[in-house]
Structure 1
Amino acid sequence: MGCVCGRQSVIIQGQKFHLMQQIGEGSFSYVFEARNTADSHQYAIKKMSCHTDEEERRARDEIENYQRFSHPNLVSLLYHEQAQYNPNAHVTSIVWLVFPYFKNGSLQNVFDKQIKFSTRVLLDLFLSICEGVRQIHEKQMAHRDLKPSNIMLLNNSHGVILDFGSMKPASISITTRSEAQQWQDWAEENCCVQYRAPELFHIETNSLITCQTDIFSLGGILYACCFGKGPFDDVYSRGDSVALAIASGRIELPVQSSTYPSIIIDTMLAMLHTEPDQRPTITDIIDKLSTASRLAMDIA
């Protein structure tokens, strides 16, 4: 049960996997490319080393988040298991999660290679991501950490959202100053700074955090799909304040913004609005961009 055979293999729910190489790392987790020794198929395996009861709770919550969904644009949890307590390693438990392996990599890998999308491919791919987000929001949840490295590619027109470790209820009511500080600290730790909604940088007492945080992040992803990098990546690279840049509401558009139909740019800017209630809903976005996709198809 979750035992490690030597240094390079692990048995999870009766399946033996050979750990080939590390391909990712989180705050208390590692992700490995792995091969099932029975059929030689590739998988991605996440190893979560829990040092405290709180980390164990977070691992259980993440598993529950995956189990909420069965959708082609949301990653599937194939196997999971919790290993025995290991006092010599100063951990309370080790949790193993097994996922499909995406050989085409992530959306961030595409941007790193400076690959440009045609309008049709961009719309098809982004709409597939939006369908995954709609499923999350329909379950009254919010992802909270949407970013290009959390979008895996089946192909040019099909994205799959992963990493549900930051997923929380869609609406979070903040009633006290201590709650506000607690959630602000949580956002600092769990939400990528370049794609973080402005309301998560400074959380007010007697406020409501909604799933519109995901819409802002999606706006940043759409910007990156158009221009190869996020709207605040340069600010981050220079070491300037991303929080101030996001709060300003000023979105600089590269010259090549004229390459794409105005409906894409206008929708993207609406998604990046500093006020959550001024952003479109996920259904609004799908409706608008589906229309743009049909137009792109007619032109093609």
Structure 2
Amino acid sequence: MSSFLATARDTIGYSFVYLVKQESSQNLFALKKIRCPMGDYSSSALSDAMHEIEMYDLFQNEYIIRVLDTSVLTDPDGTKTVYMFLPYYKRGNLQDNINANNVNKTFFPEKDLLEFFLKVCCALRVLHNHHHLPGSETAAAVEGEAAAAAAADDHLLVPYAHRDVKPGNILISDDGKTPILMDFGSVTKARIHIRTRQDGLLQQDIAAEHSTIPYRAPELYDVQTGSTLDEKVDIWSLGCTMYAAAYGQNPFEASVSEMGGSIALAILNGHYKFPLDKEQDDPFGDEFKNLVRFLLVVDPKERPDIHQN
């Protein structure tokens, strides 16, 4: 049996991430530990952790992080601890690299950045284009028109949304150019019809818990009765992430830093601008900026989907 040495790397609430080394091979791995103490929080925390594992099992792609192994241990007092054994990427995440660019006053080459985000789109397409076989347990749970419309199809389209696309959730593989989408605890079925005000408030609460504020789509801030949330929330977040990778800061954080006010209001009104006015000073051309504008459309009905050219 292999033995491992562990050192703490990060802590978020009841979640801990350790860098571990296999003594026999000296290979490095990441170990995510989630403590679920006894009490009302326990069942919810355990459910969230198991949901994250389930999502990693459901979505497998070269641009999505894979879980190497999992375990759930129970302490004598009933506290459960969930362990996820993950690959370790020495280059860190996209946010780490953005921070380094800000310190060094450097930029990613535009061509490299576009190729990088094309691969991020490939990862998101796996979620947005997810199909269930007819008769599967999840397919049976899909209600009404969606099921009826797909009845003649060989498969049932049930898109999922990541709901927390941001630089901190995109690892960079050891080759320095391949993105690895991570943190699937926020992943949920994308298309949710809002029948009542209570439905809307529930979705706002879920977004507040799982979707990072500056990258959260405007429709998740003010969920309207009669609307349908869908996978285009990820397209908005993708636009924010592309902007941040190019210019070193989220577009709406940059806007609020310069003009003041509320990030939520800036997002709801789509108020942001590109930081460099002189073309010769801007390392990114009009095509790149127009692509970001194309993604950051406030009305989700007018926003492109992951398949759009």
Same fold flag (TM > 0.5): yes
Which deviates further from its counterpart, 225-234 or 183-192? Answer: 225-234
CA distance in 2, matches of 1:215, 1:41: 36
- For the residue of structure 2 that corresponds to 1:199, the secondary structure is helix
Retained in 1: the 8 A contact 2:215–2:240? Answer: yes
Given the superposition, is the C-alpha separation of residues 235 and 50 from structure 1 closer, same or farther in structure 2, using an over 3 Å criterion? farther
Shift of 1:266: 1.1
Shift of 1:282: 1.2
CA distance in 2, matches of 1:34, 1:63: 20
- For the residue of structure 2 that corresponds to 1:244, the secondary structure is helix
TM-score, with length taken from structure 2: 0.81
What pairs up with 1:275-290 in 2 under 5 angstroms?
Answer: 275-284=299-308, 287=309
Given the superposition, is the C-alpha separation of residues 28 and 203 from structure 1 closer, same or farther in structure 2, using an over 3 Å criterion? farther
Shift of 1:205: 2.1
Shift of 1:15: 5.3
Gaps of 5+ in 2: 131-158
Which residue number corresponds to residue 53 of structure 1? 43
- For the residue of structure 2 that corresponds to 1:178, the secondary structure is helix
Shift of 1:16: 3.8
TM-superposition CA deviations, 1:232-291 (whole Å, max 9, x none):
22356687411001011122112167532322211211211111111111122xx4xxxx
Q: What is the letter of the counterpart of residue 273 of structure 1?
A: V
Q: What is the letter of the counterpart of residue 126 of structure 1?
A: F
- For the residue of structure 2 that corresponds to 1:247, the secondary structure is helix
Which residue number corresponds to residue 245 of structure 1? 266
Of 58, 62, 85, the match for 1:98: 85
Of 6, 19, 30, the match for 2:16: 30
Which residue number corresponds to residue 4 of structure 1? none
Q: What is the letter of the counterpart of residue 119 of structure 1?
A: E
Retained in 2: the 8 A contact 1:86–1:93? Answer: no
Which residue number corresponds to residue 10 of structure 1? none
What pairs up with 1:156-167 in 2 under 5 angstroms?
Answer: 156-167=176-187
Which residue number corresponds to residue 146 of structure 2? none
Of 282, 288, 293, the match for 1:264: 288
Retained in 1: the 8 A contact 2:167–2:245? Answer: no
Which residue number corresponds to residue 201 of structure 2? 181
Which residue number corresponds to residue 109 of structure 1? 96
Q: What is the letter of the counterpart of residue 93 of structure 1?
A: K
Which residue number corresponds to residue 63 of structure 1? 53
Of 168, 190, 206, the match for 1:149: 168
Shift of 1:124: 1.2
Q: What is the letter of the counterpart of residue 281 of structure 1?
A: D
- For the residue of structure 2 that corresponds to 1:283, the secondary structure is coil
Of 124, 128, 142, the match for 2:115: 124
Size of the alignment, in residue pairs?
Answer: 268
CA distance in 2, matches of 1:86, 1:161: 36
Retained in 1: the 8 A contact 2:255–2:271? Answer: no
CA distance in 2, matches of 1:235, 1:250: 7
Retained in 1: the 8 A contact 2:164–2:210? Answer: yes
Given the superposition, is the C-alpha separation of residues 86 and 278 from structure 1 closer, same or farther in structure 2, using an over 3 Å criterion? farther
Q: What is the letter of the counterpart of residue 122 of structure 1?
A: L
Runs of 4+ in 1 over 6 A off after TM superposition: none
TM-score, with length taken from structure 1: 0.84
